[in-house]
Amino acid sequence: MNFTQLEFLCFLILVVSIAWTLRGRVARNAFLLLASYYFYAYWDIRFCGLLLLSTAVDFVVAKKIAASEVHAIRKRWLMCSLTVNLGMLGLFKYFNFFLETAEPLVHAIGLDASTLPIVLPVGISFFTFQTLSYTNDVYRRKMKPTNSVLDFALYVSFFPQLVAGPIVRAAHLLPQLAVTPSWNSKRMYNGAQQLLRGAVKKVLIADHLADLVDGVFAGPELYHPVTVWLAVLAYAGQIYYDFSGYSDMAIGIAKMLGYRFPVNFRHPYLSTSVSEFWRRWHITLSTWLRDYLFIPLGGSRGTTWSTNRNLLITMTLGGLWHGAALTFVSWGVWHGIALIVARCSRLRLPRFAGWLATMSVVLFGWVLFRATSFENAMVVYRCMIGRTTPLAVPGTESWSVAGTILWLPPLPLLALACMVVDHLVWRTHGRRWMRLPADRWFSPVATAMMIWALVLYAPRGFRPFVYFQF
């Protein structure tokens, strides 16, 4: 069940309607827990056991950590949580990757290196990180463990953010689940509107951009360098509008149910440095990596060398978190090196030059992120710098720049234009109008137009959200 499918719309209307008719907190949370498990079981009921395991282990571990004053015992229980959660993540997501990587060594010692038919559970990277943040915060005495199994189980499995985030910390959501939210019609309307804006981002922009991206990345050597650059730019737009669209929809759904989720994106493509980009992109993940990986490694408290080492380790593991492939690891290393270079150079560029340099780093990084293999990424890079001769451009007599651009489908070009306008408007006072406050006349008009556009111009077929694979 996907946020952009009709089945989910029916599910959401039913859940929201029933949730607001239930007055007691326990009844409400129990219903939302059942609805969340139904939502996850819709993908594959077998994986509900992983949710139950992670919930049970971390609920008990947090209680044991809080009950002990002995540091060694507290650390032992924390290691139990880390072992279970990272063990699940390692088995389902990384076992075959590491086995394939170590294949020459495995064969050398006379063992079989055949991979296992393991299916990646949807959202496992997100809910394991959520439960790990809970036990870590209890261990650091930043919060007390909850006494309610029901509240904690709902925190782990809450369906709006279960499969693709945002990564919501226990300290943020558990206090909200401990009380019954009060009805607020304005909050309901704003939540529904944010859900709609997220659907527009995903369906009308990201999915149309994907048409261009998929075609070019499938055979980059067939296209003019201008087309390849446009495809890379289109992928930057696709992944942003796809993922921020999902985040907007998740935040909007939570708001409709009376809860608040943290912001996950703040127009990252307006950044003038790589570090600023990571303060604006996938904020809940970047802050998680900072608080639970970079700082425990030593952060920036040591020497320049140790700080750079910590940055590189953090970004490399951040890349690996996204996927079990050399391309994702390379993407993480690329951003780690960029952060180190920016930190060591201490060069202050003019605003436009800083933005141009940052976007160059980001765009070249997206090639690694999108490529089907490392070899495919290298081909794309060569095509971007014009080191290969395009074999042909479909629909044109030559491979001229004008012919290349004219050949591109009109809807992806329109989506690219919408992306650029969106970011330009956000730099001006027009951003106030884009938020569509409920007390303005144009808000219901804009809402009707978005619904109309979704009905008329949604692409045929179903495209899953990009981050569902993580």
pLDDT tens track for 160-180: 998 887 999 999 999 999 999
Neighbours of 217 (CB within 10 A): 22
For residue 59, what are its two tokens?
């609920």
pLDDT tens track for 358-376: 999 999 999 999 999 999 9
- Residue 410, C-beta contacts closer than 8 angstroms, at least 6 positions apart: none
Q: Output the pLDDT for position 135.
A: 94
What is residue 205's DSSP assignment? I
Q: If DSSP codes are grouped into helix, strand and coil, which group holds residue 399?
A: coil
Round to whole Å and give the CA distance between 169 and 174.
8
| Percent over 70 (pLDDT), the chain | 79
pLDDT tens track for 292-320: 999 999 888 888 899 999 999 999 999 98
Positive or negative torsion for Cα 352, 356, 357, 358: positive
Q: Which of 322, 335, 423, 429 is catalytic?
A: 322
Round to whole Å and give the CA distance between 252 and 190.
7
**Distance from CA of residue 273 to its chain's centroid?**
21
Round to whole Å and give the CA distance between 354 and 348.
8
pLDDT at 406 > cutoff 50 = no
pLDDT at 113 > cutoff 70 = no
Q: Based on the residue annotation, tell me whether 208 is a catalytic residue of this protein.
A: no
Length of the chain as a residue count: 470
Per-residue pLDDT averaged across 73-90, rounded? Answer: 91
Place of tokens 């992670």: 54
Please state whether the predicted TM-score (pTM) of the whole model is above 0.85.
yes
For residue 369, what are its two tokens?
């992120």
In terms of C-beta density within 10 A (0-12 exposed, 13-18 middle, 19 or more buried), how is residue 21 classed?
Answer: exposed
Round to whole Å and give the CA distance between 54 and 51.
5
- Residue 313, C-beta contacts closer than 8 angstroms, at least 6 positions apart: 293, 297, 336
Alpha helices in 257-298 (DSSP H): 274-280, 283-289, 295-297
Contact yes or no for 213/380 (Cβ under 8 A): no
**Distance from CA of residue 312 to its chain's centroid?**
20
Q: If DSSP codes are grouped into helix, strand and coil, which group holds residue 5?
A: coil
Round to whole Å and give the CA distance between 314 and 59.
27
pLDDT at 396 > cutoff 50 = no
pLDDT at 399 > cutoff 60 = no
